[in-house]
């Protein structure tokens, strides 16, 4: 698809959404950044009809503002239903959504149960779709470390990961938005598999953080038990070009945790 299109990006002011908006505008498309701050609210329905009028593509990269089990499920289900109904009424031809690699393997978490429910709504809708599942972002490694910190020690498992730079995720989402719908999923990941303990250790060393990483097979990842398949992509993911070591080299010492 090379012709100029109208594309609405829900969650367009967030970490990924703002980059998707910039990427698509750079290619000459008319892009609306949809978020409550711009008067477009998928929970209340405010502004949806006007924003979607004449849109060919909707990209949904919105994330829930809360992670409590019931609230996060209500967010994704309400937002998804309202958005898909408005798209159907507007004649939108392609719904693109961002999800998470391994979602169906992480269902002990209410957040991932909610993401699976969101995916199910998309698949059940008559609107042609593509779901982009991404691995964990480089920028979130500080949050992983913080969650696993006890005093001066960070206890994390050695589960395999394949994290990706958020800019590279946004580039994949923008590319998919300009292509024909797959009515299926694609996965995207960083170029380098790495174990979580080593990932956190390298991050702390690069930022001059004195905390010590302890490899603990029994430790949880945001209350989820992991194995080497939990957070890694299947065959033939779209690989982002940015290596973790190169991103680390760009960080300031004692970087604030993401």
- pLDDT tens across 124-174, in order? 999 999 999 999 999 999 999 999 999 999 999 999 999 999 999 999 999
Query: Which 8-state DSSP code applies to residue 252?
Result: P
H helices present in 91-165, as ranges: 110-124, 141-147
Position 67 confidence tier, pLDDT thresholds 50, 70, 90: confident
Q: If you search the block for the tokens 């957070």, which residue do you land on? A: 231
The answer to whether residue 96 scores a pLDDT higher than 70 is yes
Q: Give dist(CA 180, CA 158) in Å, integer.
A: 39
Q: Which two tokens stand for residue 209?
A: 């953080």
Q: Which two tokens stand for residue 99?
A: 């999800």
DSSP H or E run through 165: none
Judge whether 195 and 161 are in contact, CB under 8 Å.
Answer: yes
Residue 166 DSSP SS3: helix
Q: Give dist(CA 31, CA 43) in Å, integer.
A: 21
Domains of the chain: 6-249 (3.40.50.720)
The closest alpha carbon to 38, from 66, 6, 13, belongs to 13
Q: Which two tokens stand for residue 91?
A: 């004649």
User: Which tens digit of pLDDT belongs to each residue from 23-54?
Assistant: 999 999 999 999 999 999 999 999 999 999 99
Position 256 confidence tier, pLDDT thresholds 50, 70, 90: very low
Report pLDDT for 27. Answer: 95
Q: If you search the block for the tokens 């010590």, which residue do you land on? A: 212
The closest alpha carbon to 203, from 152, 148, 253, 147, belongs to 253
Judge whether 206 and 142 are in contact, CB under 8 Å.
Answer: no
User: Which tens digit of pLDDT belongs to each residue from 104-120?
Assistant: 999 999 999 999 999 99
DSSP H or E run through 86: helix 69-90
Residue 44 DSSP SS3: coil
């Amino acid at each position: 698809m090379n012709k100029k299109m109208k594309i609405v990006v829900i969650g367009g002011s967030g970490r990924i959404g703002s980059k998707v908006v910039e990427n698509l505008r750079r290619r000459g498309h008319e892009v609306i950044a949809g978020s409550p701050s711009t008067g477009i609210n998928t929970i209340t329905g405010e502004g949806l009809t006007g924003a979607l009028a004449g849109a060919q593509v909707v990209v949904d990269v919105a994330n829930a503002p809360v992670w409590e089990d019931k609230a996060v499920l209500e967010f994704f289900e309400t937002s998804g239903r309202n958005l898909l109904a408005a798209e159907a009424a507007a004649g939108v031809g392609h719904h693109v959504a961002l999800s998470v690699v391994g979602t169906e393997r992480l269902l002990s978490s209410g957040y991932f149960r909610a993401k699976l429910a969101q995916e199910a709504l998309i698949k059940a809708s008559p609107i042609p779709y593509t779901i982009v599942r991404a691995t964990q972002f480089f920028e979130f490694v500080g949050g992983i470390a913080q969650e696993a910190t006890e005093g001066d020690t960070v206890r994390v498992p050695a589960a395999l990961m394949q994290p990706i730079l958020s800019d590279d995720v946004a580039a994949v989402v923008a590319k998919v938005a300009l292509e024909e719908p797959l009515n299926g999923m694609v996965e995207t990941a960083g170029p380098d598999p790495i174990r979580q303990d080593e990932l956190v250790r390298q991050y702390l060393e690069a930022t001059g953080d004195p905390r010590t990483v302890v490899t603990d097979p029994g430790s949880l990842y945001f209350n989820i038990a992991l194995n080497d398949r939990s957070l890694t992509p299947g065959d033939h993911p779209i690989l982002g070009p940015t290596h973790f070591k190169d991103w680390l080299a760009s960080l300031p010492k004692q970087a604030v945790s993401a």
